[in-house]
Structure 1
């Protein structure tokens, strides 16, 4: 083959004479150009990795060709499944890529300065897991490496020596700033671990570790718990401490429990044996217990080659609480698992990790020290954790400059990691569809903020799906509510400000209100005001009415109310809206509680308002995030997010009623429903604003005088005014036909004759009396 004319070097099969060495055959002009002497170390940069060789001239002195041995190369280039001896007849058979007739630029050849190494840390790969002393393997590895140049993160092939050792992986080289060097008899070799080639090959084939955002502290806790018993069992034995046997991960679905286990197992370099309920449970008697024993036997065999982790996913389905009414199969499975966990020897290097989202359904015998020693709670992500997760899941998306991940993290209250991943995927899909509608054949535009807004409507938080109190409402802006400026300001101060600016309240030494009560005549936009406050606060919104609360079953209403607050605490900051609260609870003093159920519901509500009943499994993950190396200092916005997360953890209770006199006085005291706000009927100016708002989309004739209509609509509520506008438009259609273009003043006047106000003067006097009494008491 003639040499290339462009100056590149053609890679040829290695010379059989150089088998078992690190020699690289080059032309004399190339060696002179690179300043190489005989036996000088040379690093060859190849596709996907590098190879460390020593320079030697070619026997034919031909330039333009390159021959080298694959004794020391990057791990991802080595074909561990094929023959690994240097005497292999197939050229470059030890490599995972085909290097035959490969062309390399001369710039890919890097001369290295390799000093004599003082110390290096290695991992030894053996052919089989035959029991041999660590000292013998360490001395053998030192003898095989003496006289060779080695490089960090490279595999050194020593299979030609005919020993049990096949490869030696160089993990670290302690020689200043150098990453390569010469191993001599004076070099100190530290042995890290001994693995079989098969296990090392399986570890390389695993899915690369996925960076998990927002779970740094949980990840560090799991890694610490696994590293000590798996890698340092001798230290625990020397101190006389029992080796931890297991850990239980508790958290709602989608927070990343399974991915967390896989990630930490890969980081500590352990083997993973997974158990699932459908795989374990068998059809014939005794088959389930046999499957469990077989899985533990597999873990014991894997533990002979190194650390091993047995992961039991959804353990609540496999080991439920044993009871008299439980099935015999479930009881036998629980008993078999307990026996196997108790039978683990202290010298066996494997640990059991289980995951569940229903810890209360587990058998209590599993949750004692000696079995599942530690319970790690992975809660719903906090504000800062959602920001970290969004940074991770959107790393591969071409984001537009309009996308603010911090603002998006504030808008995704209650979203878990799986929800945020689905949100980014849906936003990317919306961007593709949007660009495709514009006529692009291959849409490749950026993902903008408007795409995330559309995705937020399609991807709700999974913790709020099919749960109590989920309210699906369109966001309401303050501008969409006409009038009531004083009430809006009070609601902003009571709800929006504590949610969005909690640091200001902390700075002033003031705690935000626990609850707000809106009372006033029907149809005066109490519910709409609460929706506007929830929309402006960017928090979770849960609503409950009397029809959803009460049930014919004993204790079901109290459980429903407790579940609502538990769901709200998991998604905090959140707003719980109790509409028509007078129908849920009454007053105990004057017999207002019409049944014993109402008194019990009132008792549960008071306890929840005071914070009683908070369970340990509802703990949120810590707000402290770890700062990685090279990461810039926190910005002012991130510091504000951290302060907001630390200050704003409560649940805001907002109730509405048109009969405040029927409520119990214990419910209205400060610390429960702190702010009591009267929502009056609209005055003439407010009625004008409401009419202008509801006639924005109605084509009005020039003779329509909204101010005159506002004066004539005394005792009309906001709902009445909306009904008036609809009735006028329908009258225009009935009188002038379907081709009518505008609504005239006469249509509004006729509608006034048909639509009567829902409020009366007597009702207003009663509300004004309550309002004045409240002012005098305050």
Structure 2
């Protein structure tokens, strides 16, 4: 047949819900199809199953399809303006089905509660009578005020066939699942793959909290365990908490209901509490269908610490959320996840078992995690073979996921501007990433105290001082690169190094060379950065410097001209009080006394060394 192209037209209103496909006589003849024979029409978004019928005007070259039986990805809007090939129409053999199992989608939860099972069974039998179906196809029901059903998904058929199956009055239809349209639509929309890299341990922890209690309730009851009410995610901005929650919800098949703190507040008194109650009521309604996650982003803006004189509305919101969290466990399959980067600003009453049962800390990505993130970001980019992702991961200490995304985007833009804009041969090379490094700095250091970047200096640029350079390498580089050797010899890496000498003997240059060769975070602090006219402010600033360094390890804290910062406690003179207090704070920080909750715990240097050893082996 020469005229193989068929232009798609909207279906006739008389054919809606009849599963009919109207084609011209020449197409019917080419297919060898009799009237009413089942056809499979292949579309860009999927397939639909229909029956062959001639057009009323007997015109060839046109196709009118009723997509009432189709795969999940096909919608009526996908058919506009399409031109199909006759090869995309396939005549199918069919068999009478003995059994079929279906999932029924109803309009609302109220109809689900009020519709008796016997009535629903009869309705489904009537709707599916003499309908051709295939496995995993969805049969859409025409809108009707009296009909509570939106669509029917075919879960299994007997006998199993790749062709079409005809549901007759003798077919036994079993309703396996009944869900509401909102639940079904949400799960269909969230079925797209969400890629998350570098957060495997946190993702596993979240799955344990959410998935296990919902799928094994009898085991939890036998062990006397209660279902967790809530999880608090703590991490710096841009680390990927929202993306992580979406990925976990998709993998466990949970309904995700996202809200942000400022959206809850209203203009009139009591409106915020009412909005919060409405959110939890919606979550309880969805939890009757299956696992439900209520995700509160930026929870610190919603629940600040109580006790201030002018924050009565916030206090009422906090009290309302505490009451709602206490009732979550009894409501069913619902868990509350909150995310914040300021855990100290939260009201302490929230952070106890029974409300937020577990606090999951997401620190700045380690070397191995940064490498995984870079692999994910560059997998769809035309990256040159000379780009070493291991080397890039080493150079991005302190970068979070958002920073790495911006870095790759900036490198791609640089490569695009230095080639013809319409060229298909654009390749991103190492030089593009080097240029991107000049523009994209770690977001965690944008509000840091002191200087956070230095001009790169190599060891070869420093003449002489071979013994000093060797000592610095042994003290700083070797513990990072060879932690197993240090552990085997029973050696610990030094916490601090004091460089002293006359002016101009390259003390600062040596520190820059160490920071360049180690590819670690760098913080340079002077006396002007530390001292403040307010009592206690200098000590607080120094603690904040060490907190930022610990959160972005491996890091080097460089205290330049330390004699101007610290005093001697042996000479108690007037005016030395601030220096003595700063010295006490420095001694405590060097001893490692106390950690903030936002700082990553564990032997991070050991992790970095393992990754370094692994990358060396791969290079070999």
Task: Tell me the TM-score range normalised by the shorter chain.
Answer: 0.7 to 0.9
Give the Cα–Cα distance (whole angstroms) in 2 for the partners of residues 405 and 518 of structure 1.
34
The residue aligned with 1:49 is 46
Give the Cα–Cα distance (whole angstroms) in 2 for the partners of residues 160 and 285 of structure 1.
41
- Map 1:574-723; keep pairs closer than 5 Å: 574-585=555-566, 595-619=576-600, 641=611
Instruction: Specify the SS of the correspondent of 1:347.
Output: coil
The residue aligned with 2:303 is 319
1:520-564 deviations in Å (ceiling 9; x for gaps): 222110110110111011111112233333334333333222222
Instruction: Specify the SS of the correspondent of 2:498.
Output: strand
Task: Give the one of 130, 134, 139 matched to 1:156.
Answer: 139
Does residue 294 of structure 2 align to residue 310 of structure 1?
Answer: yes
Change (3 A) 1:40 1:513: farther
Instruction: Specify the SS of the correspondent of 1:96.
Output: helix
- Map 1:330-729; keep pairs closer than 5 Å: 330-344=314-328, 346-435=330-419, 440=420, 442=422, 445-506=426-487, 510-585=491-566, 595-619=576-600, 641=611
Does residue 256 of structure 2 align to residue 276 of structure 1?
Answer: no
- Map 1:226-305; keep pairs closer than 5 Å: 226-227=210-211, 242-300=226-284
Instruction: Specify the SS of the correspondent of 2:78.
Output: coil
Instruction: Specify the SS of the correspondent of 1:617.
Output: coil
Instruction: Specify the SS of the correspondent of 1:260.
Output: helix
- Conserved in 1, the CA contact under 8 Å of 2:17 and 2:142? no
Instruction: Specify the SS of the correspondent of 1:517.
Output: coil
Change (3 A) 1:11 1:562: closer
The residue aligned with 1:191 is 176
Change (3 A) 1:604 1:54: same
Change (3 A) 1:313 1:69: closer
- Conserved in 2, the CA contact under 8 Å of 1:138 and 1:191? no
Give the Cα–Cα distance (whole angstroms) in 1 for the partners of residues 79 and 67 of structure 2.
12
Cα deviation for residue 268 of structure 1 reads 4.5
Tell which deviates more after alignment, 26-35 or 349-358: 26-35
Change (3 A) 1:464 1:16: closer
1:125-162 deviations in Å (ceiling 9; x for gaps): 11333115796588558745577554454312244997
Instruction: Specify the SS of the correspondent of 2:206.
Output: helix
1:579-637 deviations in Å (ceiling 9; x for gaps): 233444456568799945444444433333333212343235999xxxxxxxxxxxxxx
Does residue 106 of structure 2 align to residue 126 of structure 1?
Answer: yes
- Conserved in 1, the CA contact under 8 Å of 2:284 and 2:331? no
| Superposition TM-score, scaled by structure 1 size | 0.66
1:88-108 deviations in Å (ceiling 9; x for gaps): xxxxxxx22236883324155
Give the Cα–Cα distance (whole angstroms) in 1 for the partners of residues 175 and 375 of structure 2.
39
* Count of residues paired in the alignment: 606
- Conserved in 1, the CA contact under 8 Å of 2:551 and 2:598? no
Cα deviation for residue 365 of structure 1 reads 1.1
Cα deviation for residue 211 of structure 1 reads 1.6
The residue aligned with 1:767 is none
1:665-723 deviations in Å (ceiling 9; x for gaps): xxxxxxxxxxxxxxxxxxxxxxxxxxxxxxxxxxxxxxxxxxxxxxxxxxxxxxxxxxx
Change (3 A) 1:32 1:114: farther
Cα deviation for residue 461 of structure 1 reads 0.4
- Conserved in 1, the CA contact under 8 Å of 2:107 and 2:148? yes
Give the Cα–Cα distance (whole angstroms) in 2 for the partners of residues 616 and 644 of structure 1.
30
Change (3 A) 1:403 1:112: farther
Change (3 A) 1:8 1:471: closer
- Conserved in 2, the CA contact under 8 Å of 1:152 and 1:179? no
Change (3 A) 1:15 1:334: closer
Change (3 A) 1:569 1:5: same
Larger radius of gyration: 1
Instruction: Specify the SS of the correspondent of 2:394.
Output: helix
1:452-484 deviations in Å (ceiling 9; x for gaps): 111111111011111124333211122222222
Instruction: Specify the SS of the correspondent of 1:360.
Output: helix
- Conserved in 2, the CA contact under 8 Å of 1:471 and 1:543? yes
Q: Which 5+ residue runs of structure 1 have no aligned equivalent?
A: 79-94, 624-637, 646-778
Give the Cα–Cα distance (whole angstroms) in 1 for the partners of residues 257 and 389 of structure 2.
37
- Conserved in 2, the CA contact under 8 Å of 1:195 and 1:306? no
Give the Cα–Cα distance (whole angstroms) in 2 for the partners of residues 520 and 133 of structure 1.
87
Give the Cα–Cα distance (whole angstroms) in 2 for the partners of residues 344 and 256 of structure 1.
26
Tell which deviates more after alignment, 7-16 or 68-77: 7-16
- Conserved in 1, the CA contact under 8 Å of 2:481 and 2:612? no
Task: Give the one of 146, 149, 159 matched to 1:165.
Answer: 149
- Conserved in 1, the CA contact under 8 Å of 2:8 and 2:63? yes
Give the Cα–Cα distance (whole angstroms) in 1 for the partners of residues 224 and 165 of structure 2.
41
Tell which deviates more after alignment, 124-133 or 29-38: 29-38
Give the Cα–Cα distance (whole angstroms) in 1 for the partners of residues 505 and 116 of structure 2.
81
| Superposition TM-score, scaled by structure 2 size | 0.81
Question: C-alpha root-mean-square deviation of aligned residues, in Å?
Answer: 4.4
Tell which deviates more after alignment, 558-567 or 592-601: 592-601
Give the Cα–Cα distance (whole angstroms) in 1 for the partners of residues 68 and 139 of structure 2.
6
Q: Which 5+ residue runs of structure 2 have no aligned equivalent?
A: 616-620
The residue aligned with 2:69 is 72
- Conserved in 1, the CA contact under 8 Å of 2:6 and 2:86? yes
